[in-house]
Structure 1
Amino acid sequence: MAGSILPMGLRPAFFMPAAKSFWAAFLLLAVASVELTAQRRHGSSPLDTLGEEVSQADGLEILNAFRRLGIAGEYRLSFKLEIRPRRDKTTTVSGVLLGTQTTFGPLSRIDIALEPADVTEQGELVPAKVKRLLLQNGIFANALEVDAWRSGAEEARLIESDAFFEKIAGSDFTVFDLLMPFSFWQEFRYEGRTTMRSRPTHVFSLYPPSEDKALQEKVSRVRIYLDEEFNALNRVEVYDAEENLAKTITVVAFKIVDGQGVLSQVDVRNELTRDKTRFRVTDAAIGVEVPDWVFSPEGLERDIYGTEVARLRAPAKEGATE
C-alpha cells in the first residue's frame, strides 16, 4: 500500500465521515486474545535473517499486513502520562482518548489535563487546564489543537509539520509519535527477522518523503519492530538527520479488553537527554457510542475531559447479567 507523497499537514481529512474501515491505531491493535508474553522463546533463532540479504517483496507483504490491522467500533482510553526527567522529580498528568475509524485511517480526540480542576478559598471552581488534540492518522496524517485555557484560542489550529516534534504537556511524547506517519512512508527497507524479548520480530527502516524538507531536517529514518505472530508494533526508533538515535518508543504491556489487545503501557525515552515518559492506560472501553461532535474540528471548542463523555462505557449486551 502506497504512503502519502504529500508533506504532512497539507491535506486535512477531518471532515470525512466515520466508517468502519478496520484500520489500525497506534493505541489499539487487533491481536488474538493471547498476550504477547505467551509462547516465549529463549535466545536467537536459526530462522533470524537480520543483517542478511532478504526479500523486499516479502517485507512489503509484512508491512502491508501491519498497515491493514484494525478494529471495528469506537473506543475510550483513560490514561496517565508519567513524566520522568533524568535530573528532576516525576510529574503526572491525566488524559482521555476517544478513537474511531475513517476512510483515511484512525481518528482520535485527546484531552490532556495540564493542571487539574481546583477550588479557590472562596469556593469557586477553577476549571482544569486542558490541551485538546484531534489527530488523523493514516495516509494523510494531520493534527489540530486547542489550548482551552488561553483567551481567544478556542478556535482549532492546524499543527504544521515543523511543530510535530514539540513536546506535549512537557512529556517526551510529540504529535509525530502519536500520528505515526512513518507507517505509511513509501520508501522502506526490510532488514530481516530477529529475536527480540524472546519473540520473533521483523525489522524495517522507513524513510521520510523527499518532498517534505522540513521533516528531513528532523528525521533521517524511523526503525520499527513488528511482532511476527501478531504483526503488532512493539518498538520504534527515531533517528535524527545525522543518523543518531534520538528517541525510542517501547510497547511494554498489553491487556485484553473485550477480546482486543489494548496497549496498557508504552515508554518513550529521549536518547539524548535520557528523560523518559510512561504512557499508562488506567481504564479502557471498546464498542462505546461516541457523539459525532467529538471527532469534528468544531468539537475542539468543548472539553471531553471531566465530562460524561470521558467515562463512556459500551452498551450492555442483550441478555447480559450484572
Structure 2
Amino acid sequence: MATFRGLGLPGDYFLEFDLEVLPRKGERSVVTGRMWGSRTIQGPVFRASINAPVDGAESEVLLGQNGPESAAWRYQADEPTAQVERLSAAQLLDPIGATNLSMFELQMPFVYWDDFVYEGVTKVRGRAVHAFLMYPPAEFAAAHDHIAGVRLHLDAQFNALVQAVILDADEQPQRKLTVLDLKKLGDQWIVKSIDVREEATRDKVRFEVTGAALDLDFAPGLFAPAALSDAVRSPARVERF
C-alpha cells in the first residue's frame, strides 16, 4: 500500500479528457474536460475543469488534494454569483456536470483512508492483484451510511490500481472503477481510460484521456482554492491521441 501511494509521474502533468456517459438504455453523451496535476508535501493534487455539454464552455472547476488530509473544492464557473466552496463529506458524491461521475470517484480519497485490511491475492481481468478493503473515516461514514467501504485491487507486479469497488452497507458491489487501458508517452505510462459502472443499472461513465503533456512545472498557486475562479490556459504543446 505504501508503494502504491508513493507512485506518480516525476513532474507535473496536463490531461485533456472526455467523460463519456454510457447508459444501458438511452443515448450516449460526452462532456469534455482538462486536468492539471502535481504533488505537494501533503500528497497528489489536481485541478480539473469540466465543460458544459451544450456549448463546451467551462462550467465547473474542481480541486482535489489527496493524502492523509484529503480535501476537495468546487467553483461553478457558469454561475455569475458563484464562490469557491470546500466540499463536505456529504457533497463528495454529488454528480459532476451532466454525468453520473462524482468527485469521490475522480479524486479517489479512499486510497488514503487509514483503516484497512489486506485480504490477500486474487485475480481481476486475468491479472494477479493484491486486495485491500478500505474502511471510511467517521465523517464520511456518517454522511454515507449506505457505503461500507472500498475494495482496492492493486496489480501484484506493478502495484498500480486495477480496480476499485465501492461496497454497499452489506459489502456488496455498488459501483466499480476499472482501469481499461494505459498509454505510453516517452518513458512514462499514464492511464488512458477508466470505466465507472453502477452495478444495479449497468450505466457507465468512461473517463477517456484524449491528450497529454508530461514533465511540466506549474506554479504552486495554480492549485490554491482561491485560484479556481481564474481562467487557465492549456500548455502550448499537448500530444493528442
Mark yes or no: TM-score above 0.5: yes
1:216: how far off? 4.8
**One-letter amino acid of the counterpart of residue 71, structure 1:** L
1:103: how far off? 0.6
Which residue of 229, 234, 241 corresponds with 1:310?
A: 234
Task: Return structure 1 stretches of 4+ with deviation > 4 angstroms.
Answer: none
Query: Partner of 1:176 in structure 2?
Result: 104
Query: Partner of 1:279 in structure 2?
Result: 207
TM-superposition CA deviations, 1:116-145 (whole Å, max 9, x none)? 548xxxxxxxxx142101110111111111
Which residue of 250, 254, 267 corresponds with 2:195?
A: 267
- Matched residues in 1 for 2:140 and 2:193: separation? 32
Query: Partner of 1:88 in structure 2?
Result: 26
- 2:166 corresponds to 1:166: no
Q: Secondary structure, in 3 states, of the residue corresponding to 1:237? A: strand
1:279: how far off? 0.6
Q: Secondary structure, in 3 states, of the residue corresponding to 1:194? A: strand
**One-letter amino acid of the counterpart of residue 107, structure 1:** V
Identity of aligned residues (%): 35
**One-letter amino acid of the counterpart of residue 253, structure 1:** D
Which residue of 184, 197, 200 corresponds with 1:256?
A: 184
Q: Is the 8 A contact 1:131 1:145 kept in 2?
A: yes
Q: Which has the larger radius of gyration?
A: 1
User: How many residues end up aligned between the 2 structures?
Assistant: 238
What is the correspondence of 1:7-156 to structure 2 with a 5 Å cutoff?
63-115=1-53, 117=55, 128-153=57-82, 155-156=83-84
- Matched residues in 1 for 2:228 and 2:105: separation? 21
1:224: how far off? 0.8
Q: Is the 8 A contact 1:216 1:241 kept in 2?
A: no
- 2:156 corresponds to 1:232: no
Q: Is the 8 A contact 1:182 1:222 kept in 2?
A: yes
Residues 312 and 97 of structure 1: CA distance in aligned 2, closer, same or farther (over 3 Å): farther
Name structure 1 gaps, 5 residues minimum: 1-62, 119-127, 315-322
> Higher relative CO (CA 8 A, sep ≥ 6), structure 1 or 2?
1
- Matched residues in 1 for 2:58 and 2:53: separation? 5
TM-superposition CA deviations, 1:226-272 (whole Å, max 9, x none)? 10111000101001223232100000000111311100010000112
The structure where strand makes up a greater share of residues is 2
- Matched residues in 1 for 2:10 and 2:34: separation? 19
1:77: how far off? 0.5
Which residue of 131, 137, 140 corresponds with 1:203?
A: 131
**One-letter amino acid of the counterpart of residue 216, structure 2:** V
Q: Secondary structure, in 3 states, of the residue corresponding to 1:135? A: strand
Residues 89 and 117 of structure 1: CA distance in aligned 2, closer, same or farther (over 3 Å): closer
Q: Secondary structure, in 3 states, of the residue corresponding to 1:170? A: coil
**One-letter amino acid of the counterpart of residue 230, structure 1:** F
Name structure 2 gaps, 5 residues minimum: none
TM-score (norm 1): 0.70
Which residue of 87, 92, 113 corresponds with 1:185?
A: 113
Q: Secondary structure, in 3 states, of the residue corresponding to 1:226? A: strand
